[in-house]
């Protein structure tokens, strides 16, 4: 885009937010397009004890605000104030 060879850039939101912050003449115009995709832990089908443990600890981390705090500390400096934690993390 910067050299005139493209009109738009499409990629993972987390990459685009940082790219737009580093290139202030550009902005992320569409924050959500299609179904959301998340990076998440996987548990082998049938391993209920590990699934329950994982869900319990993810819920506790959410309740304790860990993911939002981590976002603010680690990612916000790269994304700027236009991007909110809810644009990146799932808090359910």
37-87, pLDDT tens digit by residue? 777 889 999 999 999 999 999 999 999 999 999 999 999 998 888 888 988
Residue 92's pLDDT band, with cuts at 50, 70 and 90, is low
SS (HEC) of the chain: CCCCCCCCCCCCHHHHHHHHHHCCCCCCCCCCCCCCCCCCCCCCCCCHHHHHHHHHHHHHHHHCCHHHHHHHHHHHHHHCCCCCHHHHCCCC
The structure's pTM equals 0.70
Q: Between residues 27 and 92, which one has the greater pLDDT?
A: 27
Task: Taking residues 9-26, report their average pLDDT.
Answer: 81
Q: Between residues 50 and 4, which one has the greater pLDDT?
A: 50
């Amino acid at each position: 885009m910067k050299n005139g060879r493209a009109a738009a850039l499409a990629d993972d939101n987390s990459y685009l937010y940082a790219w737009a912050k580093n290139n202030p003449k550009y902005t992320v115009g569409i924050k959500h397009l299609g179904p959301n995709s998340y990076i998440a832990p996987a548990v082998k089908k049938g391993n209920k004890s590990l699934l329950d443990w994982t869900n319990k600890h993810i819920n506790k981390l959410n309740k304790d605000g860990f993911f939002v705090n981590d976002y603010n500390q680690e990612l916000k400096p790269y994304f700027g104030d236009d991007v909110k934690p809810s644009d990146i993390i799932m808090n359910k």
